[in-house]
Amino acid sequence: MKVSAFEVASRYVYPSLRRRLVQVLREKGLKQDEIAELLHITQSAVSRYLKKDRGALIDVEQFKDIDEKVKEIAEWVIEERPSEYEIHKSLVKLTLEMLGKGYVCNFHSLIDPTLNPKECNVCLELFS
């Protein structure tokens, strides 16, 4: 394995979850600057997420249970305006849940052809 599970999580899964969160907030009618303020990120980052210039390699919507949790996070962000650390913690937990459920295994094998998802149970054992 040339690309670790942690690299996949930080470079692909987490940004994809954040992109989906931005998208859900936009679907709720929030403007880019409002989303940026709520998520403690720049308006330019929001724009890149919406244009799919960032975090677009994993389609979070295909995992219905995860997508529902992203929508719950969006509601929580709007209602409670949590700190950037609380938002980060919730997205990291969701990242680990995706790894633990094996949702990322096939993607991981695409970016690292040396990985055999049938033999590798690292994420399933560590994060389930």
> Are 118 and 5 spatial neighbours (Cβ–Cβ below 8 Å)?
no
Mean predicted lDDT score pLDDT of the chain = 96
Q: Mean per-residue pLDDT for 20-31?
A: 98
Amino acid 98 reads M
The encoded tokens of residue 70 equal: 């992203």
Confidence band, pLDDT 50/70/90 cuts, at residue 117: confident
E strands, the chain, are none
The backbone torsions φ and ψ at residue 85, rounded to the nearest 5 degrees and listed phi first, read -70, -40
Please check the confidence at residue 1 and state whether its pLDDT lies above 90: no
**Quick one: pLDDT at residue 39?**
98
Residue 60 has a CB neighbour count (10 Å cut-off) of 23
Return all residues near 55 (Cβ < 8 A) that are at least 6 apart.
15, 16, 17, 18, 19, 20, 49
Residue 22 has a CB neighbour count (10 Å cut-off) of 27
The pLDDT tens digits of the residues spanning 31-74 come to 999 999 999 999 999 999 999 999 999 999 999 999 999 999 99
